[in-house]
Amino acid sequence: MLILYLHPLASFCHKVLIALYENDTPFEGRVVNLADPEASAGLFERWPVGKIPVLEDTANGRVVAETSIIIEYLHQMYPGPSPLIPKDADAVLEVRLWDRFFDLYVSVPMQKIVLDRLRPEGKSDPFGVKEARETLRTAYDMAEHQLAGRQWAAGEAFSMADCAALPALFFAVTLEPYGRSHRNLASYFERLLERASVARTIDEAGPYFQYYPYRETLSERFYLPQG
């Protein structure tokens, strides 16, 4: 049995959920409340740094952490009809490159901006947020160029890179919208949203969007403001 320790609002958890749903891989999801030491004890026992998601494979006695490693593990141990890692060596490098690209240059700066809003008064980091916004703009320009003439991030097949792209872009666009000059990126984002695995992930996260620190910038197509 596969157990995924997760939180429905966490973008990196969305990345792994998309991979699982792409291949209809059976698993049990266990929501972790990191603010509750007792509720999160099981996660810390398995992965002391306490980062989610974490995958536990009880059949093989393995605990697997870090999103890209989890997806590669699923590809090796629980392959499905829609492989997210290609066989060709050059294609594999392309997928891994753009997987890391969306994680490091879109997700990480996005999280920097979001978490800064949660800092106590007087503890904000305006310079760090400025740098994060600049990184997002640079990443948008690079992705716009990469996506010219492509169906998906690393070619014509949906891959691990696209699993990484959706949650990164979904939240980043609420912080640093890309303009009309990024038509390739905008079209790609819409293609991602039409994917069944993506739609399911976003739908399941819907009830939690009210807790997103920038919920006022989230499109009403995903979240209807309360009251």
pLDDT of residue 2: 97
Confidence label for 53 from pLDDT (cuts 50, 70 and 90): very high
- Averaged over 161-190, what is the pLDDT? 95
DSSP type of residue 218: S
Confidence label for 20 from pLDDT (cuts 50, 70 and 90): very high
Spelled out in words, what is the top-level CATH class assigned to the domain 2-77? alpha beta
pLDDT of residue 224: 61
The DSSP H or E segment spanning 78 is: none
Report whether 161 contacts 203 (CB < 8 A).
no
Strand ranges inside the chain, DSSP E: 2-6, 28-31, 54-57, 62-65
Q: pLDDT for 98-143, tens place per residue?
A: 999 999 999 999 999 999 999 999 999 999 999 999 999 999 999 9
Please give the mean pLDDT across all residues of the chain: 95
**Boundaries of every domain in the chain:** 2-77, 89-217
pTM of the model: 0.95
At 155 the three-state DSSP class reads strand
pLDDT of residue 79: 95
Residue 211 Cα distances to 10, 97, 158, 218, angstroms? 11, 32, 30, 11
- Averaged over 5-23, what is the pLDDT? 97
pLDDT of residue 46: 94
Q: pLDDT for 61-72, tens place per residue?
A: 999 999 999 999
Classify domain 89-217 by CATH number.
Answer: 1.20.1050.10
CA 225 to the chain's CA centroid: 23
CB atoms closer than 10 angstroms to residue 97: 13
pLDDT of residue 226: 56
pLDDT of residue 125: 96
| Cβ neighbours of residue 217 closer than 8 Å, sequence gap 6 or more | 174, 175
Report whether 226 contacts 215 (CB < 8 A).
no
Percentage of the chain modeled with pLDDT above 70: 98
CA 162 to the chain's CA centroid: 9
pLDDT of residue 225: 60
- Averaged over 24-41, what is the pLDDT? 91
- Flag whether pLDDT at 227 surpasses 80: no
Confidence label for 35 from pLDDT (cuts 50, 70 and 90): confident
- Flag whether pLDDT at 36 surpasses 90: no
